[in-house]
Structure 1
Amino acid sequence: MPSEELLVATRRALRHRLAVGQAAGRTPSLMGAVVRGGQLVWSGGRSMIDGHAPDADVQYRIGSITKSFVAVQVMRLRDEGRLDLADPLERHLPGTAAGPLTIAQLLGHTSGLAAETPEPWWERTPGTVRPRLADVLGEPPTRHPAGRRFHYSNPGFALLGALVGRLRGTSWADALRDDVLAPLGMTRTSLSPQAPHAGGFAVHPWADVMLPEPLTDTGVMAPAGQLWSTAADLARWAAFLAGGAEGVLGRATITEMRRPASGPDETDDWATAYGLGLQLRRHGGQVLFGHTGSMPGFLAALWVSEREDVAAVVLANVTSGPAVGSIAADLVQIVAEHEPRPPEPWRPLPTADPELLALTGPWYWGPSPHLLRLLADRGLELTPVGQTGRGSRFRAEVDGTWTGLDGYYAGETLRVVRAPDAAGTHLDLGSFVFTRAPYQPDAPIPGGVGEDGWHAF
């Protein structure tokens, strides 16, 4: 049962959105759940059979949400020092036609591998049709040059699952159970269906009749979309993706996974993007991360809003029809609008280094004004004044420099260049010189400053 109920009006709006989704999507059943503050706070189901709506313990096939689990396994191996994301696959999984492709490219779907396996369609055929890992790649295996563009690849995640199994010395599924599912208490997530579970159906496009879909075991392709789970278990997964968990994967690594791995930077204007095993989507003015999934007979979606600390899960037992990704995003938006997250209370810093305090205030890149603020843990934030300019937050390093965390300056080094009296003379940010006055004459401005200084013409 939910540990904390939402307001009556919020719950009514959530139920209504789920009802519209089930009716308009013509799906046998639709299950939804909302997570807030890491806890399941609402769940609801709607079925074509009155009085028999599913609950949060009924399993559905979750399709490509499986990829987020595989990605967590790979990132854990990275954090353990067992691999580097820049490693070619062949270093750890030799003998495949994808050997030169890097692990990062496979995680972010920039490897150029084909989207699907050679025929027949893997999602509707048993794994015995392609018993070897080599059978998931066609000839040629790639459709685009590696690293050049995003191209979603199901075989790429079959390779990553095999990589996990090889480095763990067991199957990827057993490793997932031991290293991820058990520590997170996800007892109802499994490779094969466990009762109670929904059956999968296709609904005729022009008539209200249904056809059962086969529930196939996809064999070596399983890491691309095999898992079954429940709304309650996926609520636990959403809470983990929001903040990490000790002994599974830390918060910093989860944050790394949800940054765009190709294309636009996270601060740019984009509608959808892909990180390292996680999808990103803008909806209602905020950025959501998670994953959607589909397999014959099933659709699934999971979205997390970091800003609102709200997540939503939607599960359906139909091949096509309901826009589960949009429905899950709408559930997040409903909670955000009805019960917006209050800001954290303002609190003063516990300590403040006088030398850092002296650095705060206005700085100028040429004639462009910026403000430097002191954050917790000796962090800094540079913000442009006005409608143009580039800003960033910076993490303090032990050597007395700072590293950019976001925007244009992500990964760049900020240094304070001091005069002999220890007063800051200027800031050096990746060769950009910031001074206390616009084009300060005694600062090392590239190209120099006119001897006459500022004057009227």
Structure 2
Amino acid sequence: MTSSFEALLPSTERALLHRVATAQAEGRAPSLVGGVARDGRLVWEGGRSCVEGHVPDARTQYRIGSITKPFTAVLVMRLRDEGLIDLADPLEKHLPGTGVGEVTIAQLLSHSAGLAAETPAPWWERTPGTLRPELADVLGERPVVHPAGRRYHYSNTGYTLLGSLVEAVRGVSWEEALTAEILVPLGLERTSVRPVAPHAGGWAVHPWADVLLPEPAEDLGVMAPAGQLWSTVEDLCRFACFLAEGDDRVLSAETLREMRTPLAPLEAGDWDGGYGLGLRLVRAGGRVLVGHGGSLPGFVAGLWVCVEDGVAAVVLANATSGPMPSGVAADLIRIVAEAEPRIPEPWRPLPAIDPQLLELTGPWYWGTYAYGLRVVADGGVELSPLRGEGRAARFRAESDGTWTGLDDYYAGETLRVVRRTDGSVSHLDCGSFAFTREPYEPGDAVPGGVDPEGWRGL
């Protein structure tokens, strides 16, 4: 991203600090640190601590728990983009012998494979990974609790399988793939599988008294792809910006858009959130936020980005419970977006335009529905209703002279120009829908024909 902003206003910075300080105090966290990135760069950081002189900053490591999952999902999507796997592939095709190989890779990524949420006892987050050295130990005797593809059911074991899938296809460990394919290209120098000083220690805070108990920091073994990582506000803000914009060294912007699209079936009444391919989506304050939360004993974390506003926020704390980093991070985004709205880029004319493409602009009719077609950058077009309700969509230009829909009803559908024998434009065809220059004009290519008596009064 390129930034069109200077530093945040002092009033905005104070509001951010107040929110972080309140979260640390009311959440009774030994320490808490937050950061905000705007248009691709860290523009604010702030921390609080119960120990004077030990305030965490944007380079202090915390354990991030399930924010590890988007990293694993990125590795899987890289395999897909390289043609090594397909999201519709059953797991068995690439990782045989698991006993749950009929579930698809897409279902695992979106938590819709029907797998159990957790491993068999003892609780994997507070016990050594050596207790579960094999996938069979992770899955247990009853690994499936719902029919595949029928509902969203969060599954840590599913992401363990995805980590093993990466290892099977790449031929290297999950940690090696993570380092070479994500951490190094994105410059995430303070993100690691094991803690590297300076890092916070994990604490439990008594629910009814202001006293502490240290939490164990276990190596999760084969469960690592579900929650092993340690990271910082600085690194995670950079990762959040990547999730919004993409980076061709890792994943394209188009693939990240795919990951940010809700996929898992929602529960009845749950219309304010969803889950895509390794990413959670929520509506908060009229904004769509994309990201993930995380927790392991002693730590809680939240990472969100609003693509439309170009603002990302990360909050990390070293307490098992109390502070709500995901909610705090969403508040940090809201504070910046409302106090300092994004300044739009200046309007600029297109560098050039094909006269035949310009000829297509203006009003078109699908039946009696009026639409307007306009040209956008890179030869793409937008088709929008001119009045009332209708199916608006953007279309990406293809090399064969057609366009591919990017939104909603027309996503993936082909828009093409149909010409008469003399080369003039007859109509636009989009998934068999005919758009003509006039509504039901006699002689036009209207499916079913037009009444020969034409329009009439009552």
Q: Classify the TM-score, shorter chain.
A: over 0.9
- How far apart, CA to CA, are the structure 1 residues paired with 2:6 and 2:294? 28
1:108 is aligned to 2:110: yes
- How far apart, CA to CA, are the structure 2 residues paired with 1:246 and 1:363? 37
Counterparts of 1:223-234 in structure 2, within 5 Å, are: 223-234=225-236
1:285 is aligned to 2:286: yes
Q: CA deviation at 1:207?
A: 2.2
1:374 is aligned to 2:390: no
Query: Cα gap change, 1:310/1:361 in structure 2, threshold over 3 Å: closer, same or farther?
Result: same
SS at match of 1:165: helix
Partner of 2:296: 295
SS at match of 2:51: coil
Runs of 4+ in 1 over 4 A off after TM superposition: none
Contact 2:427–2:435 (CA under 8 A) maintained in structure 1 = yes
Partner of 2:189: 187
Moved more, 75-84 or 322-331: 75-84
Partner of 1:392: 393
SS at match of 1:304: strand
- How far apart, CA to CA, are the structure 2 residues paired with 1:121 and 1:39? 38
- How far apart, CA to CA, are the structure 1 residues paired with 2:130 and 2:186? 32
1:404 is aligned to 2:405: yes
Partner of 2:416: 415
- How far apart, CA to CA, are the structure 1 residues paired with 2:360 and 2:180? 49
1:162 is aligned to 2:164: yes
SS at match of 1:33: strand
- How far apart, CA to CA, are the structure 1 residues paired with 2:56 and 2:181? 29
- How far apart, CA to CA, are the structure 1 residues paired with 2:436 and 2:265? 33
Partner of 2:357: 356
Q: CA deviation at 1:423?
A: 2.1
- How far apart, CA to CA, are the structure 2 residues paired with 1:420 and 1:226? 64
- How far apart, CA to CA, are the structure 2 residues paired with 1:151 and 1:103? 15
Query: Cα gap change, 1:46/1:73 in structure 2, threshold over 3 Å: closer, same or farther?
Result: same
Partner of 1:455: 456
- How far apart, CA to CA, are the structure 1 residues paired with 2:127 and 2:190? 25
- How far apart, CA to CA, are the structure 2 residues paired with 1:282 and 1:108? 18
- How far apart, CA to CA, are the structure 2 residues paired with 1:438 and 1:149? 43
The counterpart of 1:251, out of the listed 250, 253, 256, is: 253
- How far apart, CA to CA, are the structure 1 residues paired with 2:16 and 2:408? 35
The counterpart of 2:82, out of the listed 76, 80, 83, is: 80
Partner of 2:209: 207
- How far apart, CA to CA, are the structure 1 residues paired with 2:155 and 2:442? 56
Q: CA deviation at 1:374?
A: 1.0
The counterpart of 1:59, out of the listed 48, 58, 61, is: 61
Residues 409-435 of structure 1: CA deviation (Å, up to 9, x unaligned)? 101111211112322221111111211
Q: CA deviation at 1:112?
A: 1.0
Q: CA deviation at 1:67?
A: 0.4
- How far apart, CA to CA, are the structure 2 residues paired with 1:400 and 1:156? 42
Q: CA deviation at 1:4?
A: 6.0
Partner of 2:345: 344
Residues 205-250 of structure 1: CA deviation (Å, up to 9, x unaligned)? 2222222211111111111011011111112212222222232222
Moved more, 235-244 or 323-332: 235-244
Partner of 1:99: 101
Amino acid at match of 1:20: T
Return 5+ residue gaps in structure 2 as ranges: none
- TM-score, L = length of structure 2: 0.95
Partner of 2:329: 328
- How far apart, CA to CA, are the structure 1 residues paired with 2:366 and 2:349? 29
- How far apart, CA to CA, are the structure 1 residues paired with 2:413 and 2:52? 59
- TM-score, L = length of structure 1: 0.95
- How far apart, CA to CA, are the structure 1 residues paired with 2:372 and 2:233? 45
Amino acid at match of 1:307: E
- How far apart, CA to CA, are the structure 2 residues paired with 1:127 and 1:214? 13
SS at match of 2:45: strand
Question: Identity over the aligned pairs, expressed in percent?
Answer: 65
Amino acid at match of 2:102: P
Q: CA deviation at 1:9?
A: 0.9
Amino acid at match of 2:312: A
Q: CA deviation at 1:357?
A: 1.2
Counterparts of 1:109-124 in structure 2, within 5 Å, are: 109-124=111-126
- How far apart, CA to CA, are the structure 2 residues paired with 1:262 and 1:442? 46
Amino acid at match of 2:165: L
Partner of 2:307: 306
Amino acid at match of 1:8: P
Q: CA deviation at 1:289?
A: 1.0
Contact 2:273–2:283 (CA under 8 A) maintained in structure 1 = yes
Q: CA deviation at 1:144?
A: 1.5
Return 5+ residue gaps in structure 1 as ranges: none
Partner of 2:138: 136
Partner of 1:150: 152
SS at match of 2:14: helix
SS at match of 1:290: strand
Q: CA deviation at 1:349?
A: 1.1
Moved more, 56-65 or 276-285: 276-285
Partner of 1:383: 384
Amino acid at match of 1:184: L
Q: CA deviation at 1:40?
A: 1.1
Contact 2:436–2:445 (CA under 8 A) maintained in structure 1 = no
- How far apart, CA to CA, are the structure 2 residues paired with 1:135 and 1:440? 68
Q: CA deviation at 1:441?
A: 2.2
Partner of 2:447: 446
- How far apart, CA to CA, are the structure 2 residues paired with 1:151 and 1:262? 9
Amino acid at match of 2:16: L
Amino acid at match of 1:141: P
